[in-house]
Amino acid sequence: MPLMKCPDCGAEVSDRAPSCPKCNHPFAQIAADKLLNDDLCRVYEDKKLIGATIFYMERKSIKDMGEAKSEVERRLGLPPGPPPRKLSLPVVIVGYLLLFAAIWMVITGRIFK
């Protein structure tokens, strides 16, 4: 019979006990949580993060996809997803210059002659 440590008092108890015999800490929640994590791992291997996120949303009835995604990442020990792409200042400036150049060429009739 495998033993596990009670997260509350540190006593060695059977992992099938519904609660800690020493301090009465309930384990059912922890066991259910571990099962959910195992399921998540399986879905993740098969359907990647998006599949695992949808699976988690259904299981926990979470409506917010972003919230579910970060929960899944935390549970699977994944690094958080890439931050939203930010354009660096030089890229923005060059972009505007090209845009103005294009507008200027249209206005001065250098393209549609």
The H or E element spanning position 4 is strand 3-5
Q: Is 97 left (phi over 0), alpha (psi -120 to 50) or beta?
A: alpha
The 12-41 contact track toward Zn ion, x by CB under 5 A, reads: --------x-xx-x----------------
Find the binder of Zn ion among 8, 39, 67, 73 (CB under 5 A). 8
Region near Zn ion per CB under 5 A, out of 11-19, 34-42, 73-81, 90-98: 11-19
Which residue, 32 or 65, is less far from Zn ion as judged by CB? Answer: 32
